[in-house]
Amino acid sequence: MRVMGESEDRLSRALREGELTVAVYGLGHVGVPLLAAWLLAGARGIGVDVDEAKVAAVASGRSPVEEPGVEEILRAALSSGRLKSTTNGVLASRESDVKLVAVPTKLKSSPASMGAEADLSALKSAARAIGKGLKEGDLVILESSVPPGTTRRVLRPTLEEVSGLTAERDFGLAYSPERIYVGRALADIVERYPKIVGGVGPESARVAAALYREVAKGGVMVLSSDVAAEFEKLAEGAYRDVNIALANQLAILAARLGVEFEEIREAANSQPFCHLHRPGTGVGGPCIPIYPHFLLEVARDVGADLELVELARKINSEMPRRVAHLALEGTERAGLNPNSASVCVLGLAFRGGVADTRLSPTYDLVGELLRLGFRSVRVHDPRVRAGGGLPRGVRFLSDLRAALQGCQVVVLSTDHPEYVGMSPARLRELSQGTLLVVVDGRDCLDARHVPEGMIYLAVGRPIRVGGSG
């Protein structure tokens, strides 16, 4: 159906009654829950990806990502004939009325590199495919996080050049950032947060908002432009990066002053104008380490200065090195040689409770441990299925007892629920009595009692030596 120019009542009814077809480009951690959310609202759906395995999964009613509630929706839509998937982005564009772009936007270099630039190659490829199948009256919504100005300066020209149509006159074009937390993405889209929408013009914004009011029960906030909506998403990520950097610096100071940062944080956050985050081994995942770079890239282009954002990124990128040096300090205090000490790193996922390892700080932590001379390093994670991306010679194990057996040094990197509250005494028991050093990179172990002969170090806690009184 033609969505542009239709009344809001007509758009709502068409979506609820399955008259509208949506194509979602990118079947990853954002795209699959997004597809499920629109199917749940009543739309017919087409999943699009260049990865044949992901396309095949959706075609059989399976979710390529682990997200609660998603697979049930895919299976129901498939059985009712409302869902299909394809690697042919042009065909999907021809057969759909609304195109949602949720392809990955990454960096051309490491997030630890200042001056890193956005890699928009996947977006440009999707835009060309969509443009070849774009029809008058269609609506395109970009959901991927991008540098401000990308919708109008990259996506719009590509769509117009390939299709021969004009945005806002012949087709709609809007930006609506994904706002999800891995592990609860569907609920975030459908229930938790307002959907942000910004159009390249008022008609694009109106139609996109009307449709999203049927999808997002948390409501819709229409911003003044696509650029404002793009900026908003990055502001969320930069806020968290800066806050975590502050927490990391305060935690380091707390440890040196001999006080517990968590005690300070809880007391400070009892005041409603304070919301200190938690410190840790580093900031990982596909969002927070990347978004500040998108802002910094645009700031350089317009001659703006974002010193605070840049400094926060440097502080957080440095944390894996700091935690590795805590391991070295503890090893030397225990009279061990790094060359012969066996180290077990707990956690490969970028944060606790998920199996997602994208840009996990554990990778940098392991690399730094090797650089400092530790020869025997193994990694444990109870949720990650395989240790892809680890350096050669670093073993990955899923069984905690096997991972800890015979190790002298433990470094906790990820705050999985399976680790939180575990005592150093329990860790020593699992190691069969060999454990001498515990480094708590997330300040989440129960370290009230440190066994005789053990050294406990943490990001935001003072050093504790077992048996020292």
Strands (E), 56-183: 83-86, 98-101, 106-107, 118-119, 139-142, 172-175
In one-letter notation, the amino acid at residue 101 is: V
Catalytic residue among 84, 195, 233, 344: 233
Query: What is the DSSP-derived secondary structure letter of residue 269?
Result: T
**Cβ distance 442 to 280 under 8 Å?**
yes
Q: How far apart are CA 185 and CA 174, in angstroms?
A: 21
Alpha helices in 62-137 (DSSP H): 70-79, 89-95, 121-133
Catalytic residue among 84, 99, 287, 344: 287
Query: Could you confirm whether 407 is annotated as catalytic?
Result: no
Beta strands 83-86 and 220-222, pairing class: unpaired
Q: How far apart are CA 142 and CA 177, in angstroms?
A: 7
Q: How far apart are CA 42 and CA 26, in angstroms?
A: 20
Beta strands 44-48 and 83-86, pairing class: parallel
Q: How far apart are CA 74 and CA 55, in angstroms?
A: 12
- Closest residue by Cα to residue 350 from 316, 392, 310: 316
Query: Could you confirm whether 233 is annotated as catalytic?
Result: yes
| 3-class state of residue 44 by DSSP | strand
Q: Please provide the distance, in angstroms rounded to a whole number, between the alpha carbons at the two ends of the chain.
A: 76
Please list the active-site residues.
Answer: 233, 287
